[in-house]
Amino acid sequence: MIPGTTVRRQPPVWQTALADAISDPAELLQLLELDPALLPAARAAAALLPLRVPRGFVARMRKGDPADPLLRQVLPVGAETASTPGFGADPLGERQALKAPGLLHKYHGRALLLATGACGIHCRYCFRREFDYAAAGAGHWRQGLDYLANDPSLSEVILSGGDPLTLSNRRLENLLTALADIPHLRRLRIHSRQPIVLPERVDSGLLQLIGDSRFPVVMVLHANHPREIDHAVAAALQKLAGKATLLNQAVLLQGVNDSAAVLASLSELMFSLGVLPYYLHLLDPVRGAAHFRVEAVQAAAIVRALRASLPGYLVPRLACEERGKPGKTLLL
Ligand SMILES: *Cc1c(COP(=O)(O)O)cnc(C)c1O
Ligand code: SF4
């Protein structure tokens, strides 16, 4: 008899990998052969924002290197518990931009749906690290959909979060179907770090959903350092490149990618996989992330050096977000 004739429904591979992500700082330190003396501070900071990192992402880190640029993005550290003037809980004033539960509308023609509050990885520099997704109605999109349907000036919907690709294909399909029914929407944009941190997420179901959509799909990936891209990520991006326009957005982070050489190799590598650079963001001043700050003057110098070494289309736009402006502020 052929085993498996009684069909047992298995969760997709990526959901198992997501559930198996590392959340205990002690385990992370041990896997990377790091000094256990880092543990008390890691535990204290993890109480503010829990550690979460998929095992496949950890496998791209260097063992024994506490300054590894991938590790630095996810390891909770003591500096997060310090308070720094100007760094607050809601750095962008996003509460005011909530026009319906789970829906932010700040800029002309495009609105952003907080499709979920969950992420596949917890980035220590995240500008929404203290965002109250439940209070903001993330993941409850009925009223957000009504808002989109009632504003014909909107031509683009942006799925964000959290990370919209933590949703199952079934939930995404429901959402995409509802969006496709809104006639004035012309483009769908998905902001996600999942293809980078959990490339298993780019499964055949997702590719089919994107390919079948009536929208031209723009996917904005979030990779900050070239070492985030391993063979599995490269393969996932190449599959996506056939279905969507791929852009990359990075955050300029002290000790991670605050060098023209690192950013140039990120741009070149991403280009070889079908991804063009979009924004290089200055850090948003969120409480607990001040140790990642790169000053605007230094940021401009880095981007000028990039311009001197790369074709214009491989240079990201240096941007930051300011309250009450009609769009992101370009710094250079
Ligand atoms: C960043 C952002 C956008 C998109 O801005 P683009 O310049 O089009 O990338 C849209 N809505 C909100 C609320 C944003 O924060
Ligand atoms: S993936 Fe994006 S939203 Fe999620 S923690 Fe990282 S920076 Fe924040």
Show the domain range for 186.
Answer: 94-330
Band of residue 3 on the pLDDT scale cut at 50, 70, 90: low
Say whether both 42 and 181 belong to one domain: no
In a domain, residue 1? The reply is no
Of 124, 133, 166, 119, the residue nearest 25 (C-alpha):
124
Say whether both 220 and 170 belong to one domain: yes
What value does the mean pLDDT of the chain take?
A: 95
Say whether both 39 and 164 belong to one domain: no
Best mutation site among 158, 218, 320 for ligand 1 pocket (most ligand atoms within 8 Å of CB): 158
Which amino acid, one-letter code, is at 32? L
In a domain, residue 108? The reply is yes
Rg over alpha carbons for the chain, rounded to the nearest Å, is 20
Say whether both 189 and 263 belong to one domain: yes
The b-or-e profile of 267-276 (16+ CB within 10 A means b, else e) is bebbbebbbe
CA 322, CA 240: separation in Å to the nearest integer?
32
189 membership: H or E segment, kind and range: strand 187-192
Backbone angles phi, psi at 289, to 5 degrees: -120, 10
Check the CA dihedral 287-104-193-138 and report its sign.
positive
In a domain, residue 164? The reply is yes
Say whether both 257 and 171 belong to one domain: yes
Going by C-beta distance under 8 Å and a sequence separation of 6 or more, which residues neighbour residue 186? 155, 156, 215, 216
CA angle 275, 276, 277 (to 5 degrees): 125
Say whether both 125 and 149 belong to one domain: yes
Q: How many domains does the chain have?
A: 2
CA 236, CA 203: separation in Å to the nearest integer?
8
In a domain, residue 4? The reply is no
> To which residue do tokens 């607050």 refer?
88
CA 67, CA 51: separation in Å to the nearest integer?
17
CATH code, 119: 3.20.20.70
pLDDT tens for each residue of 22-60: 999 999 999 999 999 999 999 999 999 999 999 999 999
Best mutation site among 90, 99, 103, 107 for ligand 1 pocket (most ligand atoms within 8 Å of CB): 107
In a domain, residue 221? The reply is yes
In a domain, residue 325? The reply is yes
Regarding the beta carbon of 196 and ligand 2, being less than 6 Å apart is answered no
Given 42, 60, 81, the domain boundary residue is 81
> To which residue do tokens 């063009």 refer?
276
Q: What is the DSSP letter of 184?
A: T
Q: Which residues pair with 234 in a beta bridge?
A: none
Question: How far, in Å, is the centroid of ligand 1 from the Cα of 181?
Answer: 23
Question: How far, in Å, is the centroid of ligand 2 from the Cα of 277?
Answer: 18
In a domain, residue 222? The reply is yes
Alpha-carbon dihedral angle through residues 258, 132, 53, 201, given to the nearest 10 degrees: -100
Say whether both 71 and 162 belong to one domain: no
Say whether both 31 and 172 belong to one domain: no
Say whether both 98 and 77 belong to one domain: no
Say whether both 63 and 183 belong to one domain: no
Say whether both 238 and 284 belong to one domain: yes
Say whether both 71 and 184 belong to one domain: no
Band of residue 20 on the pLDDT scale cut at 50, 70, 90: very high
In a domain, residue 9? The reply is no
CA 161, CA 63: separation in Å to the nearest integer?
31
Question: How far, in Å, is the centroid of ligand 1 from the Cα of 7?
Answer: 44
Q: How many helices (H) and strands (E) does the chain have?
A: 14, 10
pLDDT tens for each residue of 277-330: 999 999 999 999 999 999 999 999 999 999 999 999 999 999 999 988 999 999
